[in-house]
Amino acid sequence: MEDGPLRCECDRFYVGDGYRCAPGPDAGCDIKRDCDPDAECVLDPDSFTFNCRCADGFSGDGYRCRRDVIGCNIIDDCGEHAQCHFDVVEGGYRCRCDEAKVSGYLSARVLLLNLFRPKIAWW
């Protein structure tokens, strides 16, 4: 046994002065708990390190996961009067109705509503 003061040290993957320790830059997700909510922290059997992996149905690096969307560009499921377009806001391909059909449908609907609207007589 050595004589002298006792010295505290942080555990592996932690940094600090031995009294206050925090996860270090090499700490895995098992310590940092920093995976995306749609991911899980898994042990890589080759490197023996913990890494985040997106859950089934999601893509990303495990720290940021996004739901996989199969768009109309792959499954070609747009209706007869619609076209497949890339939606910048949604970040994927979506079916969009042909403008002529939409305006024609709305015009026809308004016409039908006006034709069959009950007539109110004021005496």
| pLDDT score for 123 | 46
Residues 71-119: tens digit of each pLDDT:
787 777 788 888 888 877 777 788 888 776 554 444 444 444 555 555 5
By percentage, how much of the chain surpasses pLDDT 70?
76
Q: What's the rounded mean pLDDT across residues 21-25?
A: 94
* Dist. CA 120–CA 21, nearest whole Å: 80
Short-list 24, 56, 18, CA closest to 39? 56
Q: Which two tokens stand for residue 31?
A: 């310590």
All structural domains of the chain, each given as residue ranges with its CATH number in brackets, are 9-68 (2.10.25.10), 69-117 (no CATH)
| pLDDT score for 101 | 55
| pLDDT score for 35 | 97
* Dist. CA 42–CA 49, nearest whole Å: 8
| pLDDT score for 42 | 96
